[in-house]
Amino acid sequence: MQRSLIRRGAEADIFAVDWHGKKAVSKIRLPKQYRHPDLDLAVRRQRTVHEASLMSAAKAAGVVTPFMYFVDPLNCEILMEFVGGPNARDVLTAGLCKKMGSYSAMLHAKNIIHGDLTTSNFVVSNQLVLLDFGLSYYSQRIEDVAVDVRLIKEAFTSAHVSLKDSFESFLAGYLEVAGEKQTARVVEKVREIEQRGRYARVV
């Protein structure tokens, strides 16, 4: 299979490939020289299967993710649909922010923490698509949920300052799925985490 490198990441490389006449994406976790070979292979295989499982769970929760064609644990590879369209960070609107909030609440309702919830990991195709579950994991801790939300809040307030009320739009979408009580708990925990950060900088 001919591969063309799209992006080299810290944990995996992303390639454009042809899959039976369709443009597809191959995500391959390459060996790390600093780990023992046997441990390295076990880690890469486990993370590949874990990521594929979380993508499927996210889709079952109602979040649009790339369709997976093939998972190859032996070669630590996930072959998935190529999603065309602009990155959400480049075309951000209040409506997209609200949809991101809905997606986030859908994940959190199933105890899925995305782990890298930024506007860079959303693509606007025929619909909003959430990418990259390489850092995702399961957790019921409100702290982990809040860290997810705080990450995208930071993206809104730093990279998207020109779009007013972006985080408020995100919370409106979150509220529609999670309800008032859970949303209030998450927002309060986000504030708590932010205060800790401010205190640490002062000290």
Q: Is 165 a catalytic residue?
A: no
* Neighbour tally for 63: CB within 10 Å: 21
Least Cα distance to 76 among 104, 47, 96 occurs for 47
Residue with tokens 């309060």: 188
Question: In degrees to the nearest 10, what's the CA dihedral of 7, 80, 119, 153?
Answer: -110
Where do the DSSP E strands lie in 40-113? 68-72, 77-81, 112-113
- For the CA atoms of 35, 41, 42, 48, the dihedral, rounded to the nearest 10 degrees, stands at 120
Q: Which is the catalytic residue, given 116, 132, 148, 165?
A: 116
Residues assigned a catalytic role: 116
